[in-house]
Every structure is written in structure tokens, then in C-alpha cells.
């Protein structure tokens, strides 16, 4: 176990990867390996798969820099958005002193107590594509019935003659699936919560499967997705055979454009249920990435009402890194622990 003084504390963002071309990533250097006892996986099919192929530590206990580099290497997620996403999670789920987080449950097996992405109600949330709402059941593990809704969306979009061909998911099918998942939570989950950050998070995740689970996806996201590929990531935590990462990074503003297209196409609005079938739209919720940052900073401050000076400094530093990761000077910066 690390002693208090040897803990690394907050670290700067790692540099962007240099080569962002399309390339084979399911290669000999990164073989799939089944889970060992104590290996941790969680609600994110993207990160689970990277850990199962060794792009992330197979244990599932990771640093922010390891995540930011691995998602670029494995999927060509852009450096800026990868950093923003990673620190959004880290500021809820990370240990600021050890600089560690897990991609799933909390653990003490790997040294210090380490918290992880399973924490419900902030980043992990309702209306997921392949995991249940926490109120309704298991919100972390793959759920075959929900996956069926992905297949149904594909079939429906095909009926509407918007699909490109057999066994392929178009953007229309992804949008349909997003609508089905939101309607399902409205109908069954009296505590359905779909406000920032979950609102943009859930919709960005729908964009993610389209932009990054397609082998060799084009820079303009024109290639459709296969059900088989989605199954590989969601269920097996495994890269499809011969999988190539996309052509060129998926970064701001591409991520924003695709996410807001899905918001518009799905007619999605941030809000929450007050009892089943009683969805109340929150008109105060700005539903922007600046707002994700603002809410995250406020939320993190509430997690640490009384930090030690060392912890306070570490959180302050990570909050500065988070603003740097957001990378938009038009967003107001917040300093709950002072400048």
C-alpha cells in the first residue's frame, strides 16, 4: 500500500497521440483475455473492451491518463473530448490523492480504497441502451432484453425503409433506440432521472456506438453499424475480429454536432419522472457541455465539505485540469475551492 506522502496526486493531461489514422486495433499486441478473479468491469462497454484487450490495465484500476490515451489508441476518440469525459467521471468517481479510479465497482483489493464508475445517479444513469435503470434492476451488467430493443430499432427502421441494408444499424435506428429507451424509463421507472449530465451523456453514448463501434468508420460517420459489432462490445467486452479504429479523431465539435443531431431527431428534453408516465421537462436545464462542467464542479464541491489541505489542493488542481479539458473559453470557469 502507498504511504500518504508517496501518493502521486493530480497529474497533468497526457499529450495527444501523434498518429490518428485508421488502423487495425484488434492486433497481436492486444489479445482479448478472459477475466481473472478481481478484474473489474463496469457499465461502459468502450472501457470494458479496452481493458479486456490490454489497452487499459486488465485489472480495471486506472489513472485518468491511461484512459485518455487508451480511448485515443483504441477508438480514435479525440484528445480533447476524451479528457473532458474522463475528468467528468473522475471528479465524481476518482481518488484525488492516489490518482486512481476503477471502471466499475469500488475496491480495496488493489491497494488503497478506490472508487469507480458504477456510482449511480451522476454519470452512470437511467435509460441506458444495454443496462437497466438502477431502480428497475441491475444497472451495470449487460441485459439481453434491452439489447433486443437495439435489434428492434434496427428492424423498425428497416420497416420505415431508412436502413441501408441487411444486418446494419443506421443513425435513424440509433435515434429510434434512444426514443424507445427514454419512453421505456418514463413508463416503468417512477424515479427516472434524465437531467444534465445524464441527459447529454446518454445521448452522446448513442452517438458513440455509431461513431466508434463501426470498424474503420469514416470521418463523416457515414458507415452503418452491425448488430454483431454492438453485441461484441456490449456483451462480450471484446473487439470484433479485424476491428479498425475510425478514420480521424472523433472530437469536439464533431461530438457536439452528432449528439445535438440525435437530441433533435429524437425530440429529447432533459427532465425527470414524478411517478410513472409523468415526465416533467426541466426548462432550467441548459443541456450544454458548459453546463455539464458547471454542474460537475458544483457536485464535486458537495462531495468534499471538509477536505484536508492536501486533498483540497488535489481537487483544486483536478478542477483546473477539467476546465482545460473542456477547452472552451466561452464557458465560465468556477473555483469552489478558491483560485
Residue 335's CB is within 10 A of a number of other CB atoms, namely 12
Q: How crowded is residue 5: how many other Cβ atoms within 10 Å of its Cβ?
A: 6
- C-alpha cell of residue 188: 416503468
The residue from 10, 25, 45, 287 that contacts ligand HEM (CB under 6 A) is 45
Residue 289, C-beta contacts closer than 8 angstroms, at least 6 positions apart:
84, 200, 252, 256, 326, 328, 331
- 32 phi, psi to nearest 5 deg: -70, 135
Identify the residue among 39, 73, 124, 285 touching ligand HEM (CB under 6 A): 124
172 binds ligand HEM (CB under 6 A): no
Select 142 or 337, whichever has its Cβ closest to ligand HEM: 142
Collapsed DSSP state (helix, strand, coil) of residue 267: coil
* Peptide bond just before 78 cis, omega within 30 deg: no
- Among the listed ranges 44-52, 170-178, 282-290, 300-308, the one in contact with ligand HEM (CB under 6 A) is 44-52
Q: Does 149 contact ligand HEM by CB under 6 A?
A: no
Give the 3-state secondary structure of residue 194.
Answer: strand
Which residues in the 183-242 window bind ligand HEM by CB under 6 A? Answer: 205, 208-209, 212
Q: Can you tell me which residue has the cell 491518463?
A: 65
**Identity of the residue, 97 or 214, whose beta carbon is nearer to ligand HEM in the bound complex:** 214
CB–CB of 315/99 below 8 Å?
A: no
H helix or E strand, kind and range, residue 169: strand 168-169
- Element spanning 181, H or E: helix 171-188
The one among 20, 69, 76, 128 contacting ligand HEM by CB under 6 A: 128
Q: How far is the CB of 49 from ligand HEM (least distance, A)?
A: 8
Cα(148)–Cα(136) distance, integer angstroms: 17
Instruction: DSSP for 103-144, please give it.
Output: SSS-BSTTSS-B-BTT-BTTTB-SS-SSS--TTTS-SSS--H
Binding mask 55-94 for ligand HEM (x = CB under 6 A): ------------x---x---x-x----x--xx--x-----
And the C-alpha cell for 78? 479525440
Q: C-alpha grid cell for residue 203?
A: 445521448
Residue closer to ligand HEM, measured from CB, 154 or 208: 208
Q: Can you say whether the dihedral through the CA atoms of 123, 129, 131, 134 is positive or negative?
A: positive
- Which of these ranges, 9-17, 38-46, 271-279, 310-318, lies near ligand HEM under the rule CB under 6 A? 38-46
> Does 243 sit near ligand HEM (CB under 6 A)?
no
Return the residue nearest ligand HEM (CB atom): 46
Q: Verify binding: residue 319, ligand HEM, rule CB under 6 A.
A: no
Size of the site for ligand HEM (CB under 6 A): 25
> Smaller CB distance to ligand HEM: residue 70 or 97?
70
CB of 148 to ligand HEM, least distance (A): 13
> For residue 142, what is its C-alpha cell?
449487460
Choosing from 20, 95, 130, 217, the residue that interacts with ligand HEM (CB under 6 A) is: 130
**Minimum distance of ligand HEM from residue 38's CB (angstroms):** 20
129 conformational bin, left if phi > 0, alpha if psi -120 to 50, beta if neither: alpha
x/- letters, 262..301, toward ligand HEM (CB under 6 A): ----------------------------------------
Residue ranges that bind ligand HEM, judged by CB under 6 A: 43-47, 67, 71, 75, 77, 82, 85-86, 89, 117, 123-125, 128-131, 205, 208-209, 212
Amino acid at each position: 500500500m502507498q504511504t500518504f506522502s508517496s501518493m502521486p496526486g493530480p497529474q497533468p493531461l497526457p499529450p495527444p497521440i501523434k498518429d490518428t489514422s485508421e488502423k487495425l486495433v484488434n492486433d497481436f499486441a492486444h489479445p482479448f483475455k478472459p477475466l481473472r478473479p478481481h478484474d473489474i468491469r463496469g457499465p461502459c462497454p468502450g472501457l470494458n473492451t479496452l481493458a479486456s484487450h490490454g489497452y487499459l490495465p486488465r485489472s480495471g484500476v486506472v489513472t485518468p491518463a491511461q484512459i485518455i490515451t487508451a480511448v485515443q489508441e483504441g477508438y480514435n476518440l479525440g484528445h480533447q473530448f476524451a479528457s473532458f469525459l474522463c475528468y467528468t467521471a473522475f471528479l465524481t468517481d476518482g481518488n484525488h490523492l492516489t490518482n486512481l479510479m476503477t471502471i466499475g465497482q469500488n475496491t480495496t483489493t488493489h491497494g488503497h480504497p478506490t472508487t469507480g464508475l458504477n456510482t449511480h445517479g451522476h454519470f452512470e444513469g437511467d435509460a441506458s441502451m444495454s443496462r437497466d435503470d438502477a431502480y428497475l434492476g441491475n444497472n451495470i451488467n449487460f441485459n439481453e432484453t434491452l439489447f433486443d430493443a437495439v435489434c428492434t430499432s434496427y428492424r423498425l427502421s428497416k420497416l420505415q425503409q431508412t436502413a441501408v441494408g441487411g444486418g446494419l444499424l443506421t443513425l435513424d435506428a440509433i435515434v429510434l433506440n434512444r426514443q424507445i429507451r427514454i419512453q421505456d424509463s418514463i413508463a416503468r421507472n417512477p424515479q427516472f432521472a434524465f437531467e444534465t449530465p445524464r441527459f447529454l451523456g446518454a445521448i452522446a453514448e448513442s452517438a458513440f456506438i455509431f461513431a466508434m463501434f463501426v470498424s474503420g468508420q469514416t470521418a463523416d460517420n457515414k458507415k452503418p453499424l452491425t448488430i454483431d459489432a454492438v453485441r461484441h462490445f456490449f456483451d462480450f467486452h471484446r473487439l470484433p475480429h479485424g476491428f479498425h479504429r475510425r478514420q480521424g479523431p472523433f472530437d469536439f465539435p464533431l461530438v457536439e454536432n452528432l449528439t445535438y443531431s440525435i437530441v433533435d431527431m429524437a425530440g429529447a428534453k432533459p427532465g425527470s419522472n414524478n411517478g410513472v408516465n409523468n415526465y416533467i421537462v426541466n426548462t432550467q436545464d441548459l443541456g450544454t457541455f458548459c453546463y455539464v462542467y458547471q454542474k460537475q464542479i458544483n457536485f464535486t464541491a458537495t462531495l468534499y465539505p471538509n477536505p484536508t489541505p492536501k486533498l483540497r489542493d488535489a481537487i483544486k488542481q483536478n478542477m483546473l485540469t477539467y476546465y482545460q479539458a473542456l477547452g472552451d473559453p466561452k464557458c465560465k470557469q468556477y473555483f469552489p475551492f478558491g483560485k
